[in-house]
Amino acid sequence: MNLFEEIKNKNEKITVVGLGYVGLPLAISFAKKALVIGFDINKNKVENLKMGVDVTKELVEGEIKNSEVIFTSQEEKLKEGKFHIIAVPTPVINNEPDLSYIIEATKIVGRNLSKGSIVVYESTVYPGVTEEICIPLLEMESGYTVGLDFKVGYSSERINPGDNINKLENISKIVSGIDNETIDIISMVYGLIINAGIYNAESIKIAEVSKLIENVQRDVNIALMNEISIMLDKIGIDTKLVLESAKTKWNFLNFTPGLVGGHCIGVDSYYLIYKAKEGGYTPKLINQAREINEYMGEYIVQNVLEKMYSDNKTIKDSRIGILGITYKEDCSDIRNTQVAKIVKRLKEKGAVVKVVDPVANEEEVVNSFNIKLCNIEQMKDMDVIIITVPHKEFLKLTLMDLDKMYKKNESKILIDIKGILDKNRALENGYIYWSL
């Protein structure tokens, strides 16, 4: 009986290492079909999960509490598993890959590995990390030999935080492994929970790269829209109206300008660039796309200043209200959010900045950016309002609601980054309005 049959019959356990936006939904989903151990080094997170608290706000209420996942921060529990999934962050530092989390997770799994196990990586990495860095670490920590004592595979995560339609089970899964037997077992195990189908990649490196270019493609297309937005603004043409006109053609790609954050789109390009440079080539288009998207926060600050100066307002001691700090709408994820950079720049220039976000975790925002969130009722006597993230709650706001946030009898500057409000109505009501 192979490992898949043992897992299916609940004779062997699956372990998920890293219980964030990727690992937690995986653990919960697998627990409906198999025995699952969910491991994370963050003891507070584990204790919250044991109480049924979803720190990601990605799961249906009660899913964690009703789940049979065994949550633990004790690495020795991993010895009970035979199918290990590593789903830890792979961020960048100074635009260079930071593999410290995946290295540490690999060491933890390695020293708790048993013969006959399969280790699957879901963390996004540049091609070669799994085979050239992780496998040697697993061998060193366990004392076992890959291919003989244990097997390794890679299956890129495709989680889309904040998306209630394209959930884990409804997104096709790419799997790969060191040999065909490994691929077959990994494919069958994931087949327990994936309804959208499994695609077997020919090699681990192919699977690693395919994950990167999924997001690099989006990064480049958003950068194009951002550059078009900047260009059109300079010559006095409304970008939103241009895009509404252009997308009436069936094959127009419906990308829009905006801030690029999160753990994928704003990160994966740097992983691909890093590996390309190792191979002796410096990507031009991908680099320029990154530069444009990294610039957009500063570009928005410049436009805030221009609107204030044109209205004879000074930035020092001005009151600026920001609606939204997460990197995308209706999602609590604040990783790499460009809004934090906007807040920092405005504060550096002397502004008093208040931030409201009904979706973000207040404690996480303080710990990550030293920004204390306030309630929307506290948004009073503002000179400028910047709507950065189109959360559902903000989409309900009317101009009358916004009026109450400004200083009385003074001009109202509204920076509506994604253009969620009617520009003409805002102008008719005396707003100084700007959007991408």
- The residues carrying an active-site annotation are 264
Q: How many CB atoms lie within 10 A of CB 364?
A: 14
C-alpha distance from residue 150 to each of 18, 70, 130 (Å):
21, 24, 14
Query: Phi/psi at 72 (nearest 5 deg)?
Result: -155, 155
Contact 423, 414 (CB under 8 A): no
Residue 360 CA to residue 298 CA, distance in Å, equals 23
What angle is formed at CA 243 by the lines to CA 237 and CA 245, rounded to 5 degrees? 95
Cα Rg, the chain, nearest whole Å: 24
Query: To which H or E segment does residue 7 belong?
Result: helix 3-8
Residue 391 CA to residue 389 CA, distance in Å, equals 6
Residue 1 CA to residue 148 CA, distance in Å, equals 17
Query: Phi/psi at 297 (nearest 5 deg)?
Result: -65, -45
C-alpha distance from residue 81 to each of 13, 16, 33, 70, 246 (Å):
5, 9, 15, 12, 53
- Reference 23, options 7, 5, 10, 41; nearest CA is 41
Query: What is the maximum span of the chain, computed from C-alpha positions, in angstroms?
Result: 78
Residue 65 CA to residue 45 CA, distance in Å, equals 14
Query: Which tokens is 71 given?
Result: 């949550």
Query: How many residues would you count in the chain?
Result: 436
Alpha-carbon dihedral 292, 294, 300, 301, rounded to 10 degrees: -130
